[in-house]
Amino acid sequence: MNTNLTVNGRHHALDLDPRVTLLDALRDHLNLTGSKKGCDHGQCGACTVLVNGTRVNACLSLAVMHDGDEITTVEGLSPDGRSPLQQAFVRHDGMQCGYCTPGQLCSATGVLDEIAKGWPSHVSADLEGPFDLTREELAERMSGNICRCSCYPGINKAILSVAEDDTVHREAEE
């Protein structure tokens, strides 16, 4: 089936078997191997990408369902060097293996955007926000991303540091 995807700002016209997942289309047809196939069952988050800005498990989604969509993979998070979140992951030692880090970065990018937009999570006390990124709130929002070696403390510190910087910048602009 003809499928048009815009991935990291570049348009691709693909002819895909309708059974090909978004993850396999990215990895096998576009050579974007940053998104990893961990479980292939929606359980680990290694394959997380942003679809029109919202995080999605690419292993659970068929590529043909995304005709016309804008996809961002870890390769496209910051085309001009490391994003503030990527820098924070390095600074706080939030990264170890190449398997889970790309999904954690895409997911955390999505989390920061969800917080900025005022989207509640399952544990948010107030559905209208604003939301403090408490330990519980962050754990719930990042619960789809598993790290088998448990570097969650560094990952959490990295996300929190960027969220705090965003708040400081927003308050300074107001």
- What is the C-alpha to C-alpha distance for residues 173 and 52, in angstroms, rounded to an integer? 27
> Least distance in Å: CB of 14 to ligand FES?
20
Give the residue from 167, 168, 9 showing the smallest Cα distance to 77.
9
Closer Cβ to ligand FES, 105 or 112, answer by number: 105
Interacting residues with ligand FES (CB under 6 A): 37-40, 42-47, 57, 59, 96-97, 99-100, 147-149, 151
Give first-to-last CA distance, the chain, whole Å: 49
Nearer to ligand FES, 93 or 132 (CB): 93
Complex with ligand FES: residue 24 or 137, whichever CB lies closer = 24
| CB 73 to ligand FES: min, Å | 13
CB of 55 to ligand FES, least distance (A): 11
Residue 89 phi/psi, 5° resolution? -60, -40
Pick the closer one to ligand FES by CB: 103 or 124.
103
